[in-house]
Amino acid sequence: MIELAGLTKRYGDRTAVDDLTFTVRPGIVTGFLGPNGAGKSTTMRMILGLDHPTAGRVRIDGKRYEQLRDPLTYLGALLDAKAVHGGRSAFNHLLCLAQSNGIPRARVGEVLDTVGLTAVARKKAKGFSLGMGQRLGIAGALLGDPRILMFDEPVNGLDPEGIHWIRTLMKSLAAQGRTVFVSSHLMSEMALTADHLVVIGQGRLLADTSMAEFIRTNSRSYVRVRSPQRERLLDVLHGAGITVVETGTGALEVEGGKAEPIGELAAQNGVVLHELSIQQASLEEAFMQLTAESVEYHAHADSPPVPQAWGAGWDKGA
Amino acid sequence: MAVVTQVVRSEWTKIRSVASTVWTLSLAVVVTVALGMLLSALANSQFSTMPARERLSFDPTNISFAGMTLGQLAMIVFGVLVVSNEYSTGMIRVSLAAVPQRATFLFSKIAVAAALVLVVGMVTSFAAFFLGQAMLGSHRAHLGDPGVLRAVVGGGLYMTLIAMFSMGVAAMLRSPMLSLGILMPFFFLVSNILGNVDATRKIGRFLPDQAGSHIMQVVPRAGDDVPYGPWGGLGIMGLWVIAALAGGYVLLKRRDAQ
C-alpha cells in the first residue's frame, strides 16, 4: 500500500505537485493518469525518496521509503528505461542492484527469463532497443519479488506485442495480490488495464475513483438526429420540453441518451428522420475535458476576481 | 553494517563491469611508468653536462615519478567517471532507489574506488621507481636510502588522493564534462602556473597537488622554503579531499536525485 498525504513539490514559484492525497491499494491495478507535465513522474520520484517533497509525506506500508530495509524487496519501480549504464551488460546491471539489496544472484537469471532477455543477458545495454530497455527496467522492478510495483509510462515506445505483454503482466501481478501503480497519459491504455483511477492535472488531484465509476460519470452519451424537416423537428422537440443542441453540420444533438421518445415524437408528428443514433463520447474525450477544466481553473485562480457586471465600478477610480 | 557490506559488493560489481575502469587505470600505470623511465634515462645521459648546483640537488627518486604529472590525469578521469557516470546515464535514480541511505551509497562507492586506486597506485609507484632507477645507472637511489621508501609509498598515496579528490568534485558537479573541464586544466596547467609564478607561489603550494607531491621528494630543491614537510604536505592534500567529499555528500543529501 502506498499512502500520499498532502504531497507537494514546488520548483521556485512553479508548483509541480499540489497537495496530493490518495492511497494505492493492493490487489488491483491503479492507473495514474494525467497529461504530459501533470506531475506524475515527480510524484513517483517522491514516492521513492528520490525527490524531496516541499510539503506532505509518503508512506510505504506505513514507513518512509528510507526506512525500508532492502527497499527493492518492498517496492520495485520502473521510472526510466534509459537509466542504465550503456557499457554494462544486462546481467551485471541487475547483479549490482541485487547485491545492494541482499537478493541472491540466482534471482537475476530468473527475472531475465521472465522478461525474455536471457539470450542477451551478457550484451551491453547500449545496444538494446527501447523495448528491450523497457524489459530490462521491468526486470529490475521484479528483482526483489516486491509486494508493490510502480511503472512510469511502461508502454511508451513499445510494439503491440510488447504492450500486450506489459498489460498481461500488470494484471497478473495485481491478481497475485500485489499493489500495482502505473502511470500513463493515455486514457485508452488505462481503460484496458486499470481497475482504479487516480487522475491529476497541473499537479492537482482531479479524480480518485474506480474505473467503472469513472466511465459511468464521465462518458457523456447523446442522441444524434438528422432530418430534412429540421425546423419542424426543432419545434416538436422544444414543444415536448427536450433540450436540443444544434451542431454546425445540420444534425441535432439531444443530451441524455434515450432514442425511443424522440423517434416516437417524430412519428406522431409525421417528421421524416434520416438518422437517429446513440452517440457515446469516448473516455479520451472525457479525460481531456476533465484535465482541460483543471487548466482553466488554474488560470482563473491566479487572476483577480471578475466584476459582477461589466463596467460596474468603472467610476471608482484606479 | 550488513547494508554497507551489500552496497560495497554492489559498487564493486559496478566498477568492474565497465570498460572505462580498465582503460583509465591502465593508462595511468603505463603513462606514469613509461614517462618516468624516459625522463630518468634522459637525466642519466645528461648528468655529466648538468651544472654543479643542479647535480647537488639531483633527486633520482623524484625524477622516476616525473610521469605522474600526466599519469594523474588518467586517475582524475577514473575518479570523475566513477561518480559522474551515475548522473550522465540516469543510473543515479535506480541506484538511490536501491540504496536510499545516501551516505552509505556515496561513501561505499568512494571506498571501493579508492581501494582499487590504492592498489593500482602502489603498483604504479613501485614500478615507476624500480624501472626509473634502472634507467639511472650509477646515479640511482635505493629503496633502503633515507626517505626513499616514504617517497615511493607516498607516490601511491598521492595517486589515490588525487582520484578521491576528483570523486568529491564530480559528486558536487555531477556532469562528467564539467568536472573534467575544470579538473584537467587545473591540475595540468593552472596549479603549475600558480606554483611557479613568484606572486602566487605562497598560495600555489597549498593546492592539493602541489602540497601532496612533496611526499615524492627525497632531496629538497635548492632554495625550497615550504612551511610543511612531506607528510604535512600529504596532510594538506588530505584536507582538500575531505572538503571535496564533504561537499559532494552535502549536495547529494540535499539535492533531488537527477
Smallest Cα distance from A117 to chain B, Å: 18
Check if the beta carbon of residue A35 is closer than 8 Å to that of residue A186: no
The verdict on B175 touching A (C-beta cutoff 8 Å) is no
pLDDT, residue A5, reads: 96
Q: Between A and B, how many CB-CB pairs are < 8 A? A: 93
The verdict on B18 touching A (C-beta cutoff 8 Å) is yes
- For residue range B212-228, list pLDDT tens digits in order: 999 999 988 766 778 89
Please state which of the ranges A252-256, A285-289, B26-30 shows the lowest mean pLDDT. Answer: A285-289
Residue with the larger pLDDT of the pair B131 and A248? B131
Helix, strand, or coil here: A20? Answer: strand
Question: What's the alpha-carbon Rg for chain B, to the nearest Å?
Answer: 19
- For residue range A8-32, list pLDDT tens digits in order: 999 999 999 999 999 999 999 999 9
Check if the beta carbon of residue A56 is closer than 8 Å to that of residue A20: yes
pLDDT, residue B148, reads: 95
Chain B residues with CB under 8 Å of A44 CB are none
Closest by alpha carbon to A5, among A49, A60, A58? A58
d(CA A288, CA B23): 53
User: ipTM of this model?
Assistant: 0.91
Return the exposure string of B131-161: e unless at least 16 CB atoms fall within 10 Å of the residue's CB, then b.
ebbebbeeebbeeeeebbebbbbbbbbbbbb
Chain A residues with CB under 8 Å of B95 CB are 100
- Kindly tell me if the per-residue pLDDT of B144 is higher than 50: yes
Check if the beta carbon of residue B107 is closer than 8 Å to that of residue B255: no
Looking at residues B166-181, what average pLDDT do you find?
Answer: 96
Looking at residues A286-295, what average pLDDT do you find?
Answer: 73
Instruction: Report residue A191 as a C-alpha cell.
Output: 481503460
Q: Which backbone phi and psi does A20 adopt, to 5 degrees?
A: -85, 125
Chain A residues with CB under 8 Å of B7 CB are 100
Closest by alpha carbon to B137, among B52, B60, B214, B54? B60
Please calculate the CA angle B180-B185-B187 and round it to the nearest 5 degrees: 95
- For residue range A208-247, list pLDDT tens digits in order: 999 888 887 777 778 889 999 888 888 888 888 888 888 7
A33: left (phi over 0), alpha (psi -120 to 50) or beta: beta
Taking an 8 Å cut-off on Cβ atoms, the answer to whether A69 and B3 are in contact is: yes
The verdict on A259 touching B (C-beta cutoff 8 Å) is no
The verdict on B199 touching A (C-beta cutoff 8 Å) is no
Predicted confidence band of residue B197 (pLDDT cuts 50, 70, 90):
confident
Q: How many residues are present in chain A?
A: 318
Distance of alpha carbon A206 from the chain centroid: 11
Q: What is the full DSSP assignment across A166-205?
A: HHHHHHHHHHTT-EEEEEES-HHHHHHH-SEEEEEETTEE
Taking an 8 Å cut-off on Cβ atoms, the answer to whether B13 and A96 are in contact is: yes
Helix, strand, or coil here: B185? Answer: helix
The verdict on B150 touching A (C-beta cutoff 8 Å) is no
Closest by alpha carbon to B83, among B120, B112, B124, B121? B112
- Kindly tell me if the per-residue pLDDT of B207 is higher than 80: yes
Please state which of the ranges A48-57, A98-107, A284-293, B96-105 shows the lowest mean pLDDT. Answer: A284-293
The verdict on B19 touching A (C-beta cutoff 8 Å) is yes
Please state which of the ranges A92-96, A247-251, A296-300, B77-81 shows the lowest mean pLDDT. Answer: A296-300
> Which 8-state DSSP code applies to residue A157?
T
Check if the beta carbon of residue B230 is closer than 8 Å to that of residue B150: yes
3-state secondary structure B72-134: HHHHHHHHHHHHHHHHHHCHHHHHHHHCCCHHHHHHHHHHHHHHHHHHHHHHHHHHHHHHHHH
Candidates A65, A79, A96, partner chain B, best to mutate (most B CBs within 10 A): A96
- For residue range A125-152, list pLDDT tens digits in order: 999 988 899 999 999 999 999 999 999 9
pLDDT, residue B208, reads: 94
A252 bridge partner residues: A225, A246
The residue written with cell numbers 590525469 in the block is B73
pLDDT, residue A306, reads: 43
Taking an 8 Å cut-off on Cβ atoms, the answer to whether A88 and B3 are in contact is: no
Instruction: Nearest chain B residue to A144 by CA: give it.
Output: B98
pLDDT, residue A24, reads: 97
Check if the beta carbon of residue B219 is closer than 8 Å to that of residue B58: yes
Instruction: Report residue A136 as a C-alpha cell.
Output: 530490462
Looking at residues A29-58, what average pLDDT do you find?
Answer: 95
pLDDT, residue A313, reads: 42
Q: What is the full DSSP assignment across A44-68?
A: HHHHTTSS--SEEEEEETTB-GGG-
Which CA distances in Å does A52 have to A13, A74, A110, A152? 16, 20, 34, 18
> Which 8-state DSSP code applies to residue A153?
S
3-state secondary structure A86-152: CCCEHHHHHHHHHHHCCCCCHHHHHHHHHHCCHHHCCCEHHHCCHHHHHHHHHHHHHCCCCCEEEEE
pLDDT, residue A294, reads: 64
Check if the beta carbon of residue B227 is closer than 8 Å to that of residue B206: no
Taking an 8 Å cut-off on Cβ atoms, the answer to whether B17 and A140 are in contact is: no
- Kindly tell me if the per-residue pLDDT of A307 is higher than 50: no
Chain A residues with CB under 8 Å of B3 CB are 69
Share of chain B above pLDDT 70, in %: 99
Chain A residues with CB under 8 Å of B17 CB are 87-89, 92, 95-96
Which CA distances in Å does A160 have to A119, A138, A157, A193, A309? 21, 17, 10, 15, 55
Point out the residue among A45, A71, A80 whose CB comes nearest to the CB of B98.
A71
The verdict on B1 touching A (C-beta cutoff 8 Å) is no
Check if the beta carbon of residue A287 is closer than 8 Å to that of residue A187: yes
pLDDT, residue A295, reads: 58
Taking an 8 Å cut-off on Cβ atoms, the answer to whether B17 and A71 are in contact is: no
The verdict on B196 touching A (C-beta cutoff 8 Å) is no
- Kindly tell me if the per-residue pLDDT of B76 is higher than 90: yes
The verdict on B7 touching A (C-beta cutoff 8 Å) is yes
Looking at residues B6-34, what average pLDDT do you find?
Answer: 96
A 112-141 residues with CB below 8 A of B? 140
The verdict on A52 touching B (C-beta cutoff 8 Å) is yes
Point out the residue among A82, A88, A97 whose CB comes nearest to the CB of B98.
A97
Taking an 8 Å cut-off on Cβ atoms, the answer to whether B97 and A50 are in contact is: yes
Which CA distances in Å does B218 have to B50, B226, B253? 19, 14, 42
Check if the beta carbon of residue A180 is closer than 8 Å to that of residue A173: yes
The residue written with cell numbers 511502461 in the block is A154
